[in-house]
Amino acid sequence: MAKILRINMNDLSYKWEEVPSKWETLAGRAFTSTIVSEEVDPKCHPLREKNKIVISPGLLAGTKAPSSGRLSVGAKSPLTEGIKEANAGGLTATKLGRLGIRGIVIEGMPKGNDWYSIIISKDKCEIKVTNEYAGLGLYDLTTKIWKDYPNKPGIIGCGIAGQRLSKAAGVFGNNIENTDPGRYAGRGGLGAVFGSKRIVTIITDDSEGKAPEPKDSDKFTESITKLREALRAHPVTGKLKDDKGKPFGGLANYGTNILQNIINEAGGLPTRGFKSGRFEGAAKISGEAVHEIVDKTREKFGDSAEGRYGHACHPACVMRCSNVVPYEDTGKHHVGPLEYETAWALGTNLGIDKLQDVAELNRLCNDLGLDTIETGNTIAMFMEAGVIDFGDGQAAIELLKKAYDEKSIEGRLVCSGTKSAGEALGVTRIPVVKGQALPAYDPRPIRGIGVTYATSTMGADHTSGYTIAAEILGVKGKVTDPRALDKAELSRAFQSTTAYIDSSGYCLFIAFCILDNDDGFAGMKGSVDAFLGKDIDVTEYGLAVLKKEREFNAKAGFTNADDRLPEFFYTEPLPPHNVTFDVTDEELDMVYKDL
Amino acid sequence: MKIRVKLYATLRAHAPKNTDIGEEFIIDVDDNSISGVLKNLGIEEELAKIVMVNGTRVVNYGASLEENDLVVVFPPVGGG
C-alpha cells in the first residue's frame, strides 16, 4: 500500500499517512498540484512558513515500465507566485516508488540557523542537522554524500542559490552514476523553497525496497511490452543504432539538442535576447556537435574518455536522450546533460557559439543550483543592458562565478531571475510570462507555443503544452494539419495530455512516439489502467489537474490579463520571417474558457 | 538544375564526406521535384520527415523547385 510521508519542519517531526481513497489515482504532477491546491494558502508568501513542498514520483516509477522514472516537485512558486510543478529524471523517483512512497509533503520552517537533510529508507525517516552540506558546490556535495551513504542513494535538494532564497534556484538531482548534479526539476525557483525550509538535501536509499505491484500484472506486462516495442522502433525515441549499425534514434544519438538546428532552420530560434529567429552559430553548439566531440574524444582517449550520448537519465529509460559533454583537451566529464533548452539559454540566446563556454556555464549552473533557462535569460538582461556584450562567453562565465561570493550584488542579481534582474537593470524587453522566463522557441513564428506560454498555469513553459511537436516536428496526435488548427485548441489538447503524462511517471518524450502510434498509445494508457485497476480517461484526468492549478492561481490573484505575452512580442517583428505574435486576447482566453 | 542542400542528424550520412554540420552543398538534378532531390541524395521519403524550402516547410514532395533553392531535410526529430 502506497504511503505519504508528512514532515513538519516547525518541530522536526514526521508521520506516515495512508493515501486517502480520493487521492488513490493521483501521482506525480496530479498529486503535487492537488495537495498544493488543497493545502497551501494561495496568498501566502512562497518563502515563508505557510508554503509546502510536495514531492511525488510518477505513478509507475520503480516499475519496469519503459522511461517511467520521472519525479514531480510542487509548491507555490517564488518566481511566478502561482502553482508550480517541476519535473525531472534522476534516481529519486525510482527509489521512492520502490519504497512505496506516493509523496512527501514538507510543511513549516525551523527556527535557528541550522541546515537539515532528510534521510529516507524502507519505513524509516530521519531529519538530521547537516550544516556541513550547506554552502558547498553541488559536484562536491553529491560526491561527499555517496561517501557518507554507501548504498548509492538518490539525492535531491538545493544548492547555494536556493540556500540564499534566489528565485532562479532549481531543485537539483544526482544522475545515475552520481557524476553530475544535473538532473534538475529546474523551473519556478523551487530550490529557494527548499532553502526557505532550511533543507539542503533529501537522500533516498531503496536498498530494502521492491518494485510496486500493479493491480493487473498480466495486462501491465503486456502493455509495457507494447510501449517499449513502439518506442524502440520509432526513429525519434528508438535505439542508438539500427540493425545495420547506422545511427537510428534521434534522441539517443543527438539528445534533445537535436532541435537546435531544426528550430534555427525554421527561423524560430530566439537569438541574442529574442532579436532574431536565426543564429549563425547554432550548428556549433547543436546535438550533432556534441555527438562529434564525444566520438572525437573517444577516438583520442579510448577507455578513459568520459563523453557520452545515448545516456539514460533514470534507471528505466529506453530513449536515453541524456549525454555527457567532455572537455575537448582531456576527454573527461565536463557537464551532463547539455540539453537543448540549456544550449539555447546559455548559448544562442547570449550569442555564444563556443561549445566549451556553453558547457562551462551549464556546469556552473549545476554547481550553484540554478535553473539554466532562467539563468540564461537573466544573463541576457545583463547583455541587453550593456553590462557585458552579447557573444562574450568569458564575460558571462566571470559574471556567473560572482554568484559564489555571497557579498557580491552582481552575484545575487544573476541568480534573482530574469524579471528582477531586467527591471533592476532598466531593460524593457523582458521575456517572461507570470514572472517566468521564456524557453527556446520564439512565439512569433511558432504561435501555438506562444499560446502555451501565455496561458500555462506554470508561467512561460514549453513542456506544459508542447505544440512544437505538431507545429514544427510533424507529430500530430489526433490533430489534423496543425497549421490550419485553432492555436487555442492545439495548446489545450497538448496541455491536458501533458498533465496526464506528467502524472504517470512516463517521460513526456514518449509523446513523440505514442501520438503517432496507436499501439504505443494503448501501451501507455493500458499500463496506467492495469497499475491502478481502473479505466482512466487521458484527457479528463489531465483537465482535472489543470482545473485545480487554474483555481489555485485564480485564488492567488491571477486573471486573464496575466495570460499574455510581453508587449514587445506584439510590436517587434522577428527576422527572418518578420512576424509578430498575432493571436488575439479572445483566442488566448478560449484555452480555459469553460474550465 | 542546381539545388542547394543541407542535411542534419542521421541524414548527414547522405552528404558529401567532410561536410560540416549545417554546411550547404550543391547537387545537380534532372527531376526538380522534392522527391527527385531526395532520390538523388539516396534518402527514403519516409525518413525525410521535415523538408524546408527556403525556410518554409513543404509537405507536398511533388512540388517543383527553382534553380538555387535551398532544401533542408530532417529525419523525424523530437526533443525539448
Third-level CATH fold of B2-74: Ubiquitin-like (UB roll) (3.10.20)
- CB nearest A262 (choices: B8, B13, B20): B8
B77/A253 CB distance under 8 A: no
A253/B9 CB distance under 8 A: yes
Does residue A525 register a pLDDT over 70? Answer: yes
Q: Does A266 touch chain B (CB under 8 A)?
A: yes
Q: Does B49 touch chain A (CB under 8 A)?
A: yes
Q: Does B20 touch chain A (CB under 8 A)?
A: yes
Of A64-73, A388-397, A534-543, B51-60, minimum mean pLDDT range: B51-60
Give me the pLDDT at residue A483, please: 46
Crossing angle between the packed helical segments A355-368 and A138-148, to the nearest 10 degrees: 60
Measure in Å the smallest separation between the Cα of B61 and chain A Cα atoms. Answer: 15
Measure in Å the smallest separation between the Cα of B33 and chain A Cα atoms. Answer: 20
Measure in Å the smallest separation between the Cα of B1 and chain A Cα atoms. Answer: 23
Among residues A424, A308, A342, A7, the alpha carbon closest in space to that of A170 is found at: A342
Of A281-285, A483-487, B30-34, minimum mean pLDDT range: A483-487
Among residues A164, A116, A158, the alpha carbon closest in space to that of A137 is found at: A158
Give me the pLDDT at residue A477, please: 53
Measure in Å the smallest separation between the Cα of A498 and chain B Cα atoms. Answer: 13
Q: Does A288 touch chain B (CB under 8 A)?
A: yes
Measure in Å the smallest separation between the Cα of A121 and chain B Cα atoms. Answer: 33
**What residues 446-485 of chain A have any CB closer than 8 A to a CB of chain B?**
462-463, 466, 468-469, 472-475
Nearest residue of chain A to residue B77 (CA atoms) = A236
**What residues 528-587 of chain A have any CB closer than 8 A to a CB of chain B?**
576-577
Q: Does A167 touch chain B (CB under 8 A)?
A: no
Q: Does A512 touch chain B (CB under 8 A)?
A: yes
A292/B72 CB distance under 8 A: no
Please state whether the predicted TM-score (pTM) of the whole model is above 0.90.
Answer: yes
A474/B76 CB distance under 8 A: yes
- CB nearest A288 (choices: B21, B55, B76): B21
Q: End-to-end distance of chain B based on CA atoms, in angstroms? A: 37
Give buried/exposed letters for A295-314 (b at 16+ CB in 10 A, else e). Answer: eebbeebeeebbbbbbbbbb
A236/B22 CB distance under 8 A: no
- The model's pLDDT over A469-500, given as tens digits with 9 standing for 90+, comes to 888 887 755 444 444 557 788 888 889 999 99
How would residue A295 be classed by pLDDT, with cut points 50, 70 and 90?
A: very high
Nearest residue of chain B to residue A576 (CA atoms) = B55
B8/A288 CB distance under 8 A: yes
CA pair distance A215, A530, nearest whole angstrom: 6
Instruction: Read off the pLDDT of each residue in A431-451 and give the average, rounded to a whole number.
Output: 96
Between residues A481 and A83, the one the model is more confident about? A83
Amino acid at A424: A
Q: Does B55 touch chain A (CB under 8 A)?
A: yes
A53 beta partners: A106
Q: Does A279 touch chain B (CB under 8 A)?
A: no
Chain B contact set for A246 (CB, 8 A) = 10, 13
Please give the domain boundaries of chain A with CATH numbers for all domains. 3-204 (3.60.9.10), 241-430 (1.10.569.10), 437-590 (1.10.599.10)
User: Which helix or strand (DSSP H or E) is residue A253 part of?
Assistant: helix A250-254
A152: left (phi over 0), alpha (psi -120 to 50) or beta: left
B80/A259 CB distance under 8 A: yes
Measure in Å the smallest separation between the Cα of B26 and chain A Cα atoms. Answer: 17
Q: Cell 510533424, residue?
A: A474
Give me the pLDDT at residue A516, please: 83
Q: Is the dihedral of CA A568, A571, A576, A577 positive or negative?
A: positive
ipTM of the complex: 0.96
Chain B contact set for A289 (CB, 8 A) = 21
Does residue A438 register a pLDDT over 50? Answer: yes
Instruction: Read off the pLDDT of each residue in A409-413 and give the average, rounded to a whole number.
Output: 98
B50/A576 CB distance under 8 A: no
The residues, ordered by sequence, that sit 6+ positions from A92 with a Cβ below 8 Å of its Cβ are A55, A57, A71, A154, A155, A156, A173, A202, A204
- CB nearest A259 (choices: B22, B57, B79): B79
Amino acid at A268: G
How far are the Cα atoms of A457, A549, A551, A576, B31 from residue A556, in angstroms, in the given order? Answer: 12, 11, 9, 39, 61
Measure in Å the smallest separation between the Cα of A20 and chain B Cα atoms. Answer: 35
Chains A–B, number of C-beta pairs less than 8 Å apart: 105
Q: Cell 480555459, residue?
A: A592
**What residues 208-237 of chain A have any CB closer than 8 A to a CB of chain B?**
234-237
- The model's pLDDT over A100-127, given as tens digits with 9 standing for 90+, comes to 999 999 999 999 999 999 999 999 999 9
Walk across the sheet containing A71-76 and list its strands: A13-18, A3-8, A101-107, A53-57, A71-76, A83-88
Q: Grid coordinates standing for A411?
A: 552575484
B55/A576 CB distance under 8 A: yes
Chain B contact set for A265 (CB, 8 A) = 6, 8, 52, 55, 72, 74
Residue from B10, B47, B49, B58 whose CB has the most chain A CBs within 10 Å, to mutate: B10
**Across chain A, what does the average pLDDT equal?**
96
- The model's pLDDT over A387-405, given as tens digits with 9 standing for 90+, comes to 999 999 999 999 999 999 9
Q: Does A321 touch chain B (CB under 8 A)?
A: yes
Chain A contact set for B21 (CB, 8 A) = 261, 283-284, 286, 288-289, 292
Instruction: Read off the pLDDT of each residue in A288-311 and give the average, rounded to a whole number.
Output: 98
Q: Does B54 touch chain A (CB under 8 A)?
A: no
Percent of chain A with pLDDT strictly greater than 90: 93
The residues, ordered by sequence, that sit 6+ positions from A536 with a Cβ below 8 Å of its Cβ are A25, A500, A525, A528, A529
- The model's pLDDT over A142-169, given as tens digits with 9 standing for 90+, comes to 999 999 999 999 999 999 999 999 999 9
Measure in Å the smallest separation between the Cα of A135 and chain B Cα atoms. Answer: 31
B78/A236 CB distance under 8 A: yes
User: Which helix or strand (DSSP H or E) is residue A419 part of?
Assistant: helix A418-424
A475/B78 CB distance under 8 A: yes
Give me the pLDDT at residue A488, please: 83
- The model's pLDDT over A315-361, given as tens digits with 9 standing for 90+, comes to 999 999 999 999 999 999 999 999 999 999 999 999 999 999 999 99
Interstrand relation of B25-28 and B2-7 (parallel, antiparallel or unpaired):
antiparallel
Does residue A226 register a pLDDT over 90? Answer: yes
DSSP string, A35-103: HHHHHS-TTS-TTSTT--EEEEE-TTTTSS-TT---EEEEEE-TTTSSEEEEEE-SSHHHHHHHTTEEE
Q: Grid coordinates standing for A91?
A: 534516481
- The model's pLDDT over A171-199, given as tens digits with 9 standing for 90+, comes to 999 999 999 999 999 999 999 999 999 99
Between residues A468 and A270, the one the model is more confident about? A270
Instruction: Read off the pLDDT of each residue in A558-583 and give the average, rounded to a whole number.
Output: 96
Asked whether the beta carbons of A133 and A147 are under 8 A apart, the reply is no
CA pair distance A141, A369, nearest whole angstrom: 11
Give me the pLDDT at residue A480, please: 43
Among residues A456, A381, A396, the alpha carbon closest in space to that of A80 is found at: A456
Chain B contact set for A256 (CB, 8 A) = 79-80
B10/A468 CB distance under 8 A: no
Instruction: Read off the pLDDT of each residue in A502-517 and give the average, rounded to a whole number.
Output: 93
CB atoms within 10 A of CB A137: 18
Three-class HEC string of A504-565: HCCCHHHHHHHCCCHHHHHHHHHHHHHHHCCCCCHHHHHHHHHHHHHHHHHHHCCCHHHCCC
A283/B55 CB distance under 8 A: no
Give me the pLDDT at residue A476, please: 58
Asked whether the beta carbons of A254 and B5 are under 8 A apart, the reply is no
Interstrand relation of B25-28 and B56-57 (parallel, antiparallel or unpaired):
unpaired
Amino acid at A122: K
Percent of chain A with pLDDT strictly greater than 70: 98
- The model's pLDDT over A231-246, given as tens digits with 9 standing for 90+, comes to 999 999 999 999 999 9
DSSP state of A416: S
Give me the pLDDT at residue A485, please: 58
